[in-house]
Amino acid sequence: MVRKIILTGLLSGAVIIASPLATLSGAGMAYGQTSPLGKDINFSADKALYDSENKRVIVSGNVTLYQGTTVLNADEVTYDETSQEVRAVGKVTIRDDKGNILYMEETVLKDGLKEGFIRNVRLLFSDDAHLAAREGVRTGKRTILKDAAYTPCKTCNEDGKRKPLWQIRADEVTHDEEDKVIRYKNVILEIAGVPILYTPYFSHPDPTVHAASGFLNPEFGTSSELGLNVTIPYYFSLAPHRDLTLEPLLTSKEGLVLGGTYRQHTGNGQFSVSGSIANAIDSDNFLSSESGREIRGHIFSEGKFDLDNLKLIGDQWQWDYAARWVSDDTYLRRYYQDRSDVLKSHAKIENFTGRNYFSTGLYVFQGLDEEDSGGLTGQALPAFDLNIETTPGKWGNQFTLDASGASILRTAGIDTQRVSFKGAWKLPMKTQLGDFYTITASLRGDAYHVSDAALQDQPIYGGADGTYARVLPKLSVDWNLPFIKNSLTSQQIIEPLVSIIVAPNNKNSFDIPNEDSRNFEFDENNLFSHNRYNGYDRWEAGTRVNYGVRYSLYSGDTTIRTTIGQSFRFSSTETFPVGSGYEGKSSDFVGRLDVILGDYLDYVHRFRLDSSSFSLRRNELILSGGSKSIRVSARYLDLDRERTDLTNTELENRKELGLGLKYLVNPKWTLHGSWVQDILKNDTIYYDAGVLYKDECLEFGLSYEKRLTSDRDITPSSIFHFRLVLKNLG
């Protein structure tokens, strides 16, 4: 065997050899001359022979031909100078610059490997999908295959197991590398070897295409309200920076619900618009349809954009918006299984400069509960927030300034304007004993203007016409002393914590409406908070002490964390919501226990104990455990308020139990289900079950859901949902 020949230039075709069949070697090959395998084709091989009588070049043994970005490999290649054809045999592959590979037994090509005939071919795409065919023709950058089959599924070479999970069979398949589309004629879709669909024509983009217009995977379902329904999305690739997806929902009971989503990138940001419209049956609370039909629908839009032109007055400015509107309260739940109880729209501008933040905007709300009234729903027009923090000083001391304001307007209710300021100084310290102190001094002031107070939505939240101002100074000391014990395999930490807050008894005035502090709950999350209200309209005044202990254990895959504590007020003149656990001077005990045992157990227990009887007044347990193949979850919630008068409050007594199961039968099959029970009413609220199959080329899901709650035209219903996703086909 002669030494391997590698031509990096173009070799001369006018090779003068004395014998009819001679061996080509590297001697006398000049750079820039014509290759013996044709124009612009370079090659390497273990052996090369020249048949001067028949004017043929024969190369064999690890043959590699290079033509531009195309690479051909074969056991043997013959080049005919007269016809300028290249014939390759034996483990032939052709690879293009996109990573697609053609496998075949033999091929005859010409015009620099651009055209020719191929036999028993398999085309492997860059995403591992493949096309197999009896024969084909390659013309330029177009490959036409006869009696072909396409599938992204892996196949097994064992006898009887060569059928892929699904495939597309066609009389003719064309792959055009320029428009990057694969086209089929006389198509049959087979799943598990069974023909289920025929179409005379079908096409989809090849793997090099990021997005292309076409149908997406449909979804099928049935429900008591809509009947049989199917969603058939169609995607329009309008430009690299914008697209449109039409999502028509066809139902047997309600007809057509036309929906869609438009998305666009603008260079400095992006936005989207989605919505739907339906000529639906006009159903009242008793589901009668004597009134004929009515137009129902929704529209959502959101976007976020940079404001580069404002960077001269700050580090980073941006603005964003969200617009959400629906024609009626139950539309989203009925047609889209969206259980939102309120829609929030806004348009705001934000600035981020170092540690500082500023935002201002407009906020509009649409309530979707039965008791919500549009005229009594407050709208923030406008609202602003400002947060300024200085860089920590020499001793870690830091100044902060917070300012906020909102103008709450109603078309048929009370109006409130508020401005709030809070300045604070904070100093963290550590002593030689190892304990930590944080001293905080703050001053907060609010100003309110109230009008139309007689039109209150709920009298329990107060309000009287007029202008009001209030001030609350506060001094606090937070202390903790962690005791740490380390061993070779574990670490334990016991940490007592104490917060002392000194403030005057500046009670909340019911002349000031409560717009944003209505949901008050005392728990372990706000045990050491200096203000347990989650808004501005109510504050926590008076001197009090918060105390508790935290324990942590870290040992390998085992983690245990628990916290328990209580708050004591020196004066009980302030009234907190009944049933909150913060009535009287001494609050209830609140706590939490977290136990994590590697991947096998995750347990959370949140509780509240009565300060006198130590009985459970809140008991919430969340458990998730099992192995990699089976996972069981349980959730129990008990808000014991039976002994509490909940009149004129939004609190309610609740006791629920929820169970869930997820079983991984094997890496491809998964079973799942859940169940929720109202223990107080002894009624099932909800349950579902389903099966999911997923592998490298197919995703299949079938689920059943039983909803037992009612809301006007939404009745207890059974819902089946079917989803089938074929990789690369949508």
169-206: per-residue pLDDT in tens? 999 988 887 888 888 999 998 888 889 889 999 888 87
Closest to 389 in 3D by CA, of 400, 378, 381, 397: 400
Sorting pLDDT into bands at 50, 70 and 90, what band is 161?
low
Cα–Cα distance, 572 to 517 (Å, whole number): 19
- In percent, the amount of the chain with pLDDT more than 90 equals 44
Better-predicted residue by pLDDT, 694 or 13: 694
Find the mean pLDDT for residues 135-141. Answer: 80
pLDDT, average across residues 317-341: 91
Mean pLDDT rounded to a whole number for the chain: 85
Average pLDDT on 289-318 reads 82
pLDDT digits (tens, 9 = 90+) for 466-500: 999 999 999 999 999 999 999 999 999 999 999 99
Token pair belonging to 428: 């963290």
User: What's the pLDDT score for residue 157?
Assistant: 52
Q: Of all helices (H) and strands (E), which one includes residue 413? A: none
The residues, ordered by sequence, that sit 6+ positions from 332 with a Cβ below 8 Å of its Cβ are 298, 326, 338, 340, 368
Residue 203, beta-bridge partner list: 183
Distance in angstroms between the alpha carbons of the first and the last residue of the chain: 52
Res 388 pLDDT > 50: yes
- Are 50 and 29 in contact by the 8 Å Cβ rule? The answer is no
* Cα–Cα dist 308/4, whole Å: 60
Partner residues linked to 115 by β-bridges: 110, 139
**Average of pLDDT values for 6-29?**
32
Mean pLDDT of 610-620: 87
pLDDT at position 7 is 32
What is the pLDDT at residue 282? Answer: 66
Least confident of 156-170, 479-493, 591-605: 156-170
What confidence score (pLDDT) does residue 140 get?
73
User: Is the pTM higher than 0.85?
Assistant: no
Phi and psi torsions of 703, nearest 5°: -135, 155
How confident is the model at residue 162, as a pLDDT?
Answer: 62
Query: Band of the pLDDT at 16, cuts 50, 70, 90?
Result: very low
Per the CB < 8 A criterion, the answer to whether 207 and 127 are in contact is yes
pLDDT on residue 25: 39
H-helix segments, 558-646: none
Q: DSSP letters of 520-567?
A: ----TTSTT-S---SSSSS---S-EEEEEEEEEEEETTEEEEEEEEEE
Interval 419-471: pLDDT, tens: 999 999 999 999 988 899 999 999 999 999 999 998 887 788 888 999 999 99
Q: What pLDDT, on the 0 to 100 scale, is given for residue 14? A: 27
d(CA 126, CA 584): 70
